[in-house]
Each structure stands twice: as structure tokens, then as C-alpha cells.
């Protein structure tokens, strides 16, 4: 999000950089937006950072990943032998109906839960081999999480929420504050640093969450229905923000979603159903088959 | 494919920072204290409900002890009075035996009351323990989501435990201080009304009273720490996915 001023009527507009005309006077805003875009692109480049010495082609891989929830006598298979390779720098969406296992997959990839069977690799490291400390390290520095319910710490201000992972990472106070401010500025919340979550709108809270996910310059952003609790416009802003990050800084974005707006920005879409990968679509294919996409939207709605 | 050493590469990844610094995961005590204090002060109403178990238990304990100290003070002055009387009667050669009897009877009563009091103290500690354990359990359970989130951000289990123990200690100190004062004043009031005079306060041993109050606060703090340990550890050990999923 950026604030721009219309050169014609002087109106202040808050935008992700997608508008082309001023909503006030219909003046052409394209060159202004281009400028803003360039400026942000430069800053975005360093905000997330993939600093692995070795650069494997696949940043996340799962092999025969299986998760069975046991509830008393009943066994609920939530994931059945999922094989998934996620390329470095990819924007991947995981789509599927409710209960298909999206959140379960999110938890496995994020090291938030243990699979019943199979393996999950991050940078070719088998997560099952990591001890508690290494897992915490991974969660702190390699992965940034975004949740449907925002999950900000309610007693902390926006800035404190963003700097909390930096405390865990042992960053110095000054550096931490500077980076926290910069991140919040990048998501367009520089005037909300000291606001508590309940003083922010849903979209603003989610933007704080995006800034927090970027706290320690992760290589992967994992998002579980990041737009699920937001209205259309606000959801679009978050998606644009994620896409911008993905494009400018090369951070890998993996997002579980019902949201068809995600289709436009995704490099690949993994459809899962009943815990199995049903099919994988590439954006390149999608563009060729607009007809298929149309019918799919009808299916989903 | 099974590359355990891979993490070392990840960890050592930051070219400009050394691997040691990168491995570090910290929650400095200062920050932990700040976060815990914030949790207490911002959710003051909630904190007070949590602390009410401590306040009640310690108030009970403190009232029992205050009663004992007042009673002792009263008896001491009465005994002094009786001994004076005994001396006077001895000089007068009158009924010496009956004043001696009175003193012995008072001694007897004191002993039986002391044992009853021990029971009351044990009871009040039980009340206190149950109240605090319950309160701590609730304050941990209702924050599962927050704990899960913190673990996603890289918190180690012991960070979570640390935060809850600091919070328990803060609640313990404040709650038992309040409880000790409340119980003390209530008992003082009751005795003042019963004896129809504020001289009870003058007759009591204040240094002993202060000692008891300090002990009561200590007990309250230690009890709330003990009560918080188990739920805090249990919550900290939860897998983040489970913690995040739990609804309140
Ligand atoms: N903790 C749990 N215990 C038992 N069963 C579970 C648990 N979590 C998920 N499940 C089951 O696993 C399956 C997959 O759930 P999951 O939450 O991954 O679905 P989802 O695709 O994220 O759905 P939604 O779009 O509604 O969020 C469901 O059938 C669900 O009932
Ligand atoms: Mg879900």
C-alpha cells in the first residue's frame, strides 16, 4: 500500500498501485503509479531474503505425506500420500473444498504438526530430523506464517507484534525498531505503529500480520486462507501485497485458499480433494484455457 | 535426500553473520518481563479474576493469623492483669488459688485454640491452592491460540513457560499482598467491634503481625508459581497446530 497524491486535484489516495485514474477527478495516474511501483520494488527486493548458500530447485517437497487424525475409535484421513514439489520463488495456491486438507497440509509444511507418515523436506532437509530448537529456528527465520484469523498478539501494538519474531531471533533493539517501522511502512501502516490489534480493521490487521511474517526475512511465506475473513477489496489488497513480495523479493508464497482471485496471481494451483492432490494447474495453461477457468468458477460458486 | 547437515547450511546461511549468532534463539528477561507485565496490566479485569483465588485464600490465611495475634495480645494483657491481681491477693492473703486457677485455665484455652488454628491455616492453604491452580489453569487455557502463534514465530517451549511464570509471580505478589491486607483489616475490624474498642490494635504484637503478613505474601507467591508450572509446561509443549486449532 502506498499513499499518492493526484497531480490534478491533489486528492490523497491509498492504493496498492493498481489504479490508473484518480477516483476524484479521473485524471490519468499511470505515470505516478509507475514511479511508486519502482520505488517500492527497490525496497521490496531486500525485505524478504532467500540467503541459503545452496539453492535447491525445490524449496519444499513432500513425499507420500499422510496425516490421519484419530478421534476415539474413528480415524479421519486428512492427507493421503501427497507428493508436492514447490519451486523456489514460486507463488503456489492450494485450492480445495472445505475439509479437503488444506490447513492440514499447511501445518505439515510449516512444521506445526507431525505427519502420520511420509516426509516433508524444506531445502532438502527432512523436517522429521529436526529437534525442537531447530524447528523453532526454522519457524522463526525461514518461514513467515499468515493466518485466516490474523492471530496478532492482542496486548501488543502493531510495532511490537512485528518485532516479536526479531526478539526471538536475537536482533538488537535499534535495528529491530527500524526494521519494524520500515516493514509497517511498506504495508502502508506507518501511521498505525502504536495501535493495538482491536483498534485496527481486519485488512489492517492482516497487513500487520504480513509485516510480521516478513520480520526475519523468510524464504517462504505460508498463508492459510489469508483473505478468508476479509471483504473483496481488502482481500485483493492482501493478495496484491503477497504477489508484489513474491515478484520483487523472490520469496516463495504458498497459500491455501478458496479465493478465486488468487488464481490470477498464482504460478501454479494445486487442487486437493479428500486429502489427495486432484490436479495441478499451471498459469501458463490457464491462460490458454480461459474457457475451462470460466466453467471452474461457476463450479466453485 | 536425508540431509540432517542441511540445516547447518540453512543456519549458517547468512553470509554476513556468523553461524553462532544465527543459531541463537532468545527471549531476554527484560522483554519477557515487559510482555508479562503488559498481559497483567492490559487485561486487568481478567487478571483480577485470576488473582481472586489468591486474594481469597491469602485473605483467609491472613485473617486467621491476625486473629491469633490479636487474641494473644488480649490474653497477654489479661494475664498481666491477673498476675497483678494474684500478687495483690497474695499480699492480702485472700483467695490466691482462684487466680492461679484462672491463669491455668487461660493457658489451657490458648493451647486448644492453637491446635484449632493450625487446622484453619491448613484449610486456608488448601482453599488457596485450589483457587490458584484453577485460576492459572484457566489463564493458560484461554490463551492457547496466542501460545500457538508465539510458537509459529519461533518461541521455544521455555519462552512460553518463562512468560507464564513471570505472570504468575506478578499476580501472586499483587494478589497475596491485597489478600493479606484485606484479611488483616477484616479481622482487626471484627475484633474491634467485638471488644467495642480499638485498643485491640494497641495490644497486639505488630512486629509479629508484620512477620506473618510477609510470610502470607510469600506463601501466596510460591503457591501461584507452583500452580502455574504444570499448565504452563503442558501448554508450551503442545504442537503449534493443536494450540492454534483450539477454540475457546
Ligand atoms: N484436530 C483434528 N482432529 C480431527 N480431525 C481433524 C482435525 N483437524 C482437521 N481434521 C479433519 O481433517 C480434514 C481436513 O481438515 P482441514 O482443516 O485440513 O481442511 P481445510 O481444507 O483446511 O478446510 P477449510 O477450508 O474448512 O479450512 C477434515 O475432515 C477435518 O475434519
Ligand atoms: Mg482450513
* Together in a domain, A287 and A213: yes
Average pLDDT of the residues in B177-182: 94
Average pLDDT of the residues in B3-24: 41
Closest C-alpha to ligand 1, atom 29 = A99
Residue A252 near residue A60 (C-beta atoms within 8 A):
yes
Choose between B100 and A280: higher pLDDT.
A280
Burial class (CB in 10 A: 0-12, 13-18, 19+), B104: exposed
Average pLDDT of the residues in B175-198: 89
Residue by residue, pLDDT tens for chain A (301 residues) are 567 778 788 777 776 666 677 777 877 777 777 777 777 766 666 666 655 555 678 889 999 999 999 988 999 999 999 999 999 999 999 999 999 999 999 999 999 999 999 999 988 888 888 888 888 989 998 999 999 999 999 989 999 999 999 999 988 889 999 999 999 998 889 899 999 999 999 999 999 999 999 999 899 999 999 998 898 888 988 998 899 889 888 899 999 988 887 778 899 999 999 999 999 988 776 655 544 444 444 444 4
Q: Which of B197, B74, B53 is nearest to B129 (CA)?
A: B53
Strand, helix or coil for residue B28: coil
Flag whether A58 is in a domain.
no
Q: Please tell me the distance from the alpha carbon of residue A266 to that of residue A272, in angstroms, as a whole number.
A: 16
The DSSP call for residue A21 is: B
Residue A201 near residue A189 (C-beta atoms within 8 A):
no
* Together in a domain, A40 and A100: no
Query: Phi and psi dihedrals of B234, rounded to 5?
Result: -60, -45
pLDDT for residue B7: 36
Average pLDDT of the residues in B159-180: 91
Q: Please tell me the distance from the alpha carbon of residue B24 to that of residue B74, in angstroms, as a whole number.
A: 62
Indicate left, alpha or beta for B154 from its phi (over 0: left) and psi (-120 to 50: alpha): left
pLDDT for residue B155: 93
* Together in a domain, A96 and A12: no
Query: Phi and psi dihedrals of A165, rounded to 5?
Result: -65, -25
Q: Taking 50 as the threshold, does the pLDDT of residue B13 lie above it?
A: no
User: Which ligand number lies closest to the CA of residue A272?
Assistant: 1
* Together in a domain, A29 and A93: no
- Which of B153, B158, B170 would best serve as a mutation to test chain A binding (most A beta carbons within 10 A)? B153
Q: Which of these ranges, B85-94, B97-106, B202-211, has the smallest mean pLDDT? A: B85-94
Q: Would you list which residues of chain A are within 8 Å, Cβ to Cβ, of chain B?
A: 51-54, 107, 110, 112-114, 121, 123-126, 129-130, 132-134, 136-142, 145, 147, 151-156, 164-165, 167-170, 212, 215-216
Q: Would you list which residues of chain B are within 8 Å, Cβ to Cβ, of chain A?
A: 1-4, 6-7, 9-15, 21-28, 31, 35, 38-39, 42-43, 145-146, 148-157, 159, 239-242, 244
Q: How far is the centre of ligand 2, averaged over its atoms, from the C-alpha of B45 (Å)? A: 33
Q: Which of these ranges, A172-186, A204-218, B83-97, B109-123, has the smallest mean pLDDT? A: B83-97
Cβ-based neighbours of B21, under 8 Å, separated by 6 or more: A170
Cβ-based neighbours of A275, under 8 Å, separated by 6 or more: A67, A77, A78, A79, A80, A82, A100, A101, A104
Measured at the CA of A167, the angle between CA A164 and CA A173, to 5 degrees, comes to 110
pLDDT for residue A115: 94
pLDDT for residue B30: 87
* Together in a domain, A30 and A96: no
Residue A170 with chain B: CB contacts under 8 Å? 21, 24-26
Q: Please tell me the distance from the alpha carbon of residue A252 to that of residue A59, in angstroms, as a whole number.
A: 8
The neighbour count for residue A177, using CB atoms within 10 Å, is 16
The DSSP call for residue A142 is: I
pLDDT for residue B15: 36
Flag whether A84 is in a domain.
no
Q: Please tell me the distance from the alpha carbon of residue A193 to that of residue A196, in angstroms, as a whole number.
A: 9
The string of pLDDT tens digits covering residues B25-42 is: 788 888 888 888 888 888
Q: How close does chain B come to A262, measured CA to CA in Å?
A: 24
The neighbour count for residue A157, using CB atoms within 10 Å, is 21
The neighbour count for residue A211, using CB atoms within 10 Å, is 28
pLDDT for residue A18: 61
The DSSP call for residue A18 is: -
* Together in a domain, A147 and A287: yes
* Together in a domain, A97 and A17: no
Residue B1 with chain A: CB contacts under 8 Å? 121, 124, 126
Flag whether A161 is in a domain.
yes
Average pLDDT of the residues in B174-178: 92
pLDDT for residue B235: 87
Flag whether A171 is in a domain.
yes
Residue A271 near residue A108 (C-beta atoms within 8 A):
no
Domain containing residue A9: 2-45
Q: Taking 90 as the threshold, does the pLDDT of residue B177 lie above it?
A: yes
Residue A112 with chain B: CB contacts under 8 Å? 148, 151-152, 239-241, 244
Do A132 and B24 count as a contact with CB atoms less than 8 A apart?
no
- The predicted model scores a pTM of 0.80
3-state helix, strand, coil in chain B (%, to 5): 85, 0, 15
Q: How close does chain A come to B36, measured CA to CA in Å?
A: 10
Strand, helix or coil for residue B161: helix
Residue A126 with chain B: CB contacts under 8 Å? 1-4
* Beta carbon pairs, A and B, within 8 Å: 123
Flag whether A59 is in a domain.
no
Residue B40 with chain A: CB contacts under 8 Å? none
Flag whether A184 is in a domain.
yes
Q: Please tell me the distance from the alpha carbon of residue A62 to that of residue A125, in angstroms, as a whole number.
A: 11
The neighbour count for residue B59, using CB atoms within 10 Å, is 28
Task: Spell out which residues line ligand 1, taking CB within 6 angstroms.
Answer: A 69, 71, 76, 78, 96, 98-104; B 245
Residue A93 near residue A225 (C-beta atoms within 8 A):
no
Burial class (CB in 10 A: 0-12, 13-18, 19+), A98: exposed
pLDDT for residue B178: 94
Residue B154 near residue A165 (C-beta atoms within 8 A):
yes
Query: Phi and psi dihedrals of A255, rounded to 5?
Result: -135, 125
Flag whether A246 is in a domain.
yes
Q: How close does chain B come to A96, measured CA to CA in Å?
A: 19
pLDDT for residue A100: 93
- Which of A48, A51, A198 would best serve as a mutation to test chain B binding (most B beta carbons within 10 A)? A51
* Together in a domain, A94 and A232: yes
Picking from A125, A151, A212, the nearest residue to B7 by CB comes out as A125
Q: Taking 90 as the threshold, does the pLDDT of residue B112 lie above it?
A: no
The DSSP call for residue A101 is: S
pLDDT for residue B119: 86
Q: Taking 50 as the threshold, does the pLDDT of residue B63 lie above it?
A: yes
ipTM computed for the complex: 0.80
pLDDT for residue B1: 30
pLDDT for residue A79: 94
Do A139 and B7 count as a contact with CB atoms less than 8 A apart?
no
Residue B57 near residue B217 (C-beta atoms within 8 A):
no
* Together in a domain, A37 and A95: no
Cβ-based neighbours of A174, under 8 Å, separated by 6 or more: none
* Together in a domain, A39 and A137: no
How many domains does the structure of chain A reveal?
2
pLDDT for residue A294: 47
Q: Please tell me the distance from the alpha carbon of residue A182 to that of residue A171, in angstroms, as a whole number.
A: 15
Q: Which of A77, A132, A104 is nearest to A225 (CA)?
A: A104
The DSSP secondary structure of B83-152, one letter per residue, reads HHHHHHHHHHTS-HHHHHHHHHHHHHHHHHHHHHHHHHHHHHHHHHHHHHHHHHHHHHHTTHHHHHHHHH
Q: Please tell me the distance from the alpha carbon of residue A42 to that of residue A248, in angstroms, as a whole number.
A: 8
Query: Phi and psi dihedrals of A269, rounded to 5?
Result: -125, 125
Picking from A130, A156, A215, the nearest residue to B7 by CB comes out as A130
* Together in a domain, A93 and A239: yes
Are β-strands A276-282 and A268-273 bridged in parallel, bridged antiparallel, or unpaired?
A: antiparallel
CA A69 to chain centre: 26
The neighbour count for residue B134, using CB atoms within 10 Å, is 13
User: Which ligand number lies closest to the CA of residue A147?
Assistant: 2
Q: Please tell me the distance from the alpha carbon of residue A32 to that of residue A34, in angstroms, as a whole number.
A: 5
Are β-strands A125-126 and A143-146 bridged in parallel, bridged antiparallel, or unpaired?
A: unpaired
CATH of the domain at A231: 3.40.50.300
> Binning pLDDT at 50, 70 and 90, where does residue B21 land?
very low
pLDDT for residue A51: 58
* Together in a domain, A153 and A276: yes
Flag whether A260 is in a domain.
yes
CA B200 to chain centre: 27
Amino acid at each position: 500500500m502506498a499513499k499518492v497524491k493526484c497531480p490534478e486535484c491533489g486528492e490523497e489516495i491509498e492504493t496498492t498501485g493498481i489504479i490508473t485514474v484518480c477516483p476524484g477527478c479521473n485524471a490519468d495516474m499511470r505515470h505516478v503509479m509507475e514511479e511508486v511501483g519502482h520505488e517500492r520494488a527497490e525496497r521490496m527486493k531486500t525485505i524478504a531474503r532467500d540467503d541459503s548458500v545452496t539453492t535447491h530447485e525445490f524449496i519444499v517437497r513432500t513425499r507420500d505425506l499422510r496425516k490421519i487424525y484419530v478421534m476415539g475409535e474413528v480415524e479421519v484421513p486428512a492427507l493421503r500420500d501427497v507428493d508436492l514439489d514447490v519451486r523456489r520463488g514460486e507463488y503456489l495456491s492450494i485450492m480445495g473444498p472445505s475439509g479437503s486438507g488444506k490447513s492440514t497440509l499447511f501445518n505439515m509444511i510449516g512444521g506445526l504438526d507431525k505427519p502420520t507418515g511420509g516426509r516433508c523436506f524444506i531445502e532438502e532437509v527432512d523436517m522429521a530430523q529436526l529437534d525442537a530448537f531447530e524447528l523453532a529456528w526454522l519457524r522463526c527465520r525461514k518461514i513467515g506464517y499468515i493466518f485466516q484469523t490474523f492471530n496478532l498478539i492482542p496486548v501488543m501494538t502493531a510495532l511490537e507484534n512485528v518485532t516479536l519474531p526479531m526478539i526471538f531471533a536475537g536482533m538488537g533493539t535499534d535495528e529491530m525498531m527500524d526494521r519494524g517501522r520500515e516493514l509497517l511502512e511498506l504495508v502502508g501502516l506507518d501511521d498505525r505503529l502504536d495501535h493495538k490489534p482491536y483498534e485496527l480493521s481486519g485488512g489492517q490487521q492482516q497487513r500487520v500480520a504480513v509485516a510480521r511474517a516478513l520480520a526475519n526475512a523468510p524464504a517462504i511465506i505460508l498463508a492459510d486462507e489469508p483473505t478468508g475473513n476479509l471483504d473483496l477489496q481488502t482481500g485483493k489488497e492482501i493478495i496484491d501485497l503477497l504477489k508484489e513480495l513474491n515478484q520483487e523479493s523472490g520469496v516463495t508464497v504458498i497459500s491455501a485458499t478458496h479465493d478465486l482471485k488468487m488464481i490470477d496471481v498464482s504460478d501454479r494451483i494445486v487442487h486437493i480433494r479428500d486429502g489427495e492432490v486432484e490436479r495441478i494447474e499451471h498459469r501458463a495453461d490457464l491462460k490458454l484455457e480461459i474457457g475451462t477457468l470460466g466453467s471452474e468458477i461457476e463450479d466453485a460458486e | 535426500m536425508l540431509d540432517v547437515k542441511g540445516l547447518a547450511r540453512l543456519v549458517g546461511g547468512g553470509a554476513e553473520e556468523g553461524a553462532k549468532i544465527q543459531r541463537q534463539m532468545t527471549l531476554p528477561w527484560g522483554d519477557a518481563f515487559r510482555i508479562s507485565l503488559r498481559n497483567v496490566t492490559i487485561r486487568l479485569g481478567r487478571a483480577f479474576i485470576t488473582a481472586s483465588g489468591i486474594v481469597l485464600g491469602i485473605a483467609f490465611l491472613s485473617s486467621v493469623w491476625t486473629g491469633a495475634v490479636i487474641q494473644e495480645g488480649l490474653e497477654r494483657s489479661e494475664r498481666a492483669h491477673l498476675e497483678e491481681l494474684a500478687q495483690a491477693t497474695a499480699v492480702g492473703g485472700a483467695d490466691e488459688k482462684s487466680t492461679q486457677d484462672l491463669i491455668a485455665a487461660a493457658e489451657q484455652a490458648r493451647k486448644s485454640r492453637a491446635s484449632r488454628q493450625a487446622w484453619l491455616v491448613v484449610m486456608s492453604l488448601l482453599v488457596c491452592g485450589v483457587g490458584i491452580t484453577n485460576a492459572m489453569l484457566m489463564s493458560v487455557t484461554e490463551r492457547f491460540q496466542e501460545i500457538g502463534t508465539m510458537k509459529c514465530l519461533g518461541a521455544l517451549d521455555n519462552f512460553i513457560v518463562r512468560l507464564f511464570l513471570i505472570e504468575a509471580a506478578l499476580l501472586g505478589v499483587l494478589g497475596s499482598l491485597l489478600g493479606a491486607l484485606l484479611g488483616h483489616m477484616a479481622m482487626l475490624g471484627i475484633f474491634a467491634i467485638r471488644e467495642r474498642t480499638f485498643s485491640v490494635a494497641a495490644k497486639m504484637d505488630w512486629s509479629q503481625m508484620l512477620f506473618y503478613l510477609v510470610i502470607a505474601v510469600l506463601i501466596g507467591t510460591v503457591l501461584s508459581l507452583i500452580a502455574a508450572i504444570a499448565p504452563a509446561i503442558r501448554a508450551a509443549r503442545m504442537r503449534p497446530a493443536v494450540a492454534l486449532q483450539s477454540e475457546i
